[in-house]
Structure 1
Amino acid sequence: MRHFLAAALIAIPSAAGAGPLDDQVRAAYLAWDAAFNKGDAEAVAAFYTGDASFLPATHDIVQGPSGVEKFYSGLFAGGITDHALDLIRTAGDDKIVIAAAKWSATGKDAAGKPTRFSGIATHVFERQPDGSLKLKLHTFN
């Protein structure tokens, strides 16, 4: 799956004038980060489609907004904060948008000291009838 998503980012041509698509994804990222940084698992889950698949670094397979909410509730209870997504690139059309980003968040290391964690995330958004983007597939390492 990871190789498929990477290939998809390369194979799908960007929409004409990728700037607006990048701007839309950045806006979605800012809103998602804001919900995360409030520690609001329900608000984070609202960014996912009803049939979304979320594949976190834990290797769990999380389905739908209720599964996403449960996952993030546990993460917030563990003290993870200060999340940020930094867009790498986008590709897509008027229905599906694929984005890759660097992510970072603050938590505690094994000794309990505050530390910064980071990695790479892949997002497949489905455009909604109102033009907004919701996550259909989300994975990160």
Structure 2
Amino acid sequence: MVSFRLLLTATTLSLGLSSVTLAAPEDDVKAAYEQWNADFNSGDAEKLASNYSEDAIFLPPSHAVIEGPQGVQEFFAPLFENGVTGHTLEVIKVIDHGDEITAAARWSAKGGDGSDIGGIGTHVFQRQDDGSLKLALHTFN
């Protein structure tokens, strides 16, 4: 009798879980990248900065240490004023650490003069209460 109840419980749990869709960390990162690209390509530095946590660290190739969304906004505003657009991110690797996810990506964009620019970016995301991701650390070359 115990084994029948155990089997019934296991089957019920299995059926219940099969109807729950859990996004894979790579899917979450791809969604965060799509949002980041859309906000970048809108040319709105404030909107782009909303992708970063309050205690975010942003490390551009200039070796500056930029902190928080306000610092990110101040960094990107001149790029938008100079016509940089067409940003894309392509996932290279995603590593799930639970509430944090590390990702590496290839990035590309169009310079204000129409030139192709790009490189590699490294990102550490923090999962928010609503399940979304915000950047806690961002560096690129």
Please classify the TM superposition score into its range, dividing by the shorter chain length.
0.7 to 0.9
Once residues 58 and 105 of structure 1 are traced to their aligned partners in structure 2, the CA distance between those partners, rounded to angstroms, is 18
Number of the residue aligned with 1:76: 80
Once residues 131 and 23 of structure 1 are traced to their aligned partners in structure 2, the CA distance between those partners, rounded to angstroms, is 12
Once residues 65 and 129 of structure 1 are traced to their aligned partners in structure 2, the CA distance between those partners, rounded to angstroms, is 18
1:130 paired to 2:130: yes
Number of the residue aligned with 2:121: 121
Once residues 93 and 56 of structure 1 are traced to their aligned partners in structure 2, the CA distance between those partners, rounded to angstroms, is 24
Shift of 1:85: 0.3
Number of the residue aligned with 1:101: 105
Once residues 114 and 52 of structure 1 are traced to their aligned partners in structure 2, the CA distance between those partners, rounded to angstroms, is 30
Q: Secondary structure at 1:114's aligned position in 2?
A: coil
Number of the residue aligned with 2:40: 36
Shift of 1:77: 1.1
Shift of 1:20: 1.1
Q: Secondary structure at 1:103's aligned position in 2?
A: strand
1:54 paired to 2:58: yes
Once residues 73 and 93 of structure 1 are traced to their aligned partners in structure 2, the CA distance between those partners, rounded to angstroms, is 32
Q: Deviations over 1:103-134 (max 9, x none)?
A: 001004xxxx4210010000000111111100
Identity fraction in percent: 50
Once residues 78 and 120 of structure 2 are traced to their aligned partners in structure 1, the CA distance between those partners, rounded to angstroms, is 21
Q: 2:28 aligns with which of 12, 24, 27?
A: 24
Once residues 140 and 115 of structure 1 are traced to their aligned partners in structure 2, the CA distance between those partners, rounded to angstroms, is 18
Q: Secondary structure at 1:49's aligned position in 2?
A: strand
Once residues 140 and 90 of structure 2 are traced to their aligned partners in structure 1, the CA distance between those partners, rounded to angstroms, is 13
TM score, norm. by length of structure 2: 0.81
Q: Secondary structure at 1:54's aligned position in 2?
A: strand
Aligned residues: 119
Structure 2 alignment gaps of length 5 or more: 1-22
Q: CA RMSD, aligned part only?
A: 1.1
Q: State the 4+ residue runs in structure 1 displaced beyond 4 angstroms.
A: none
Once residues 78 and 64 of structure 2 are traced to their aligned partners in structure 1, the CA distance between those partners, rounded to angstroms, is 13
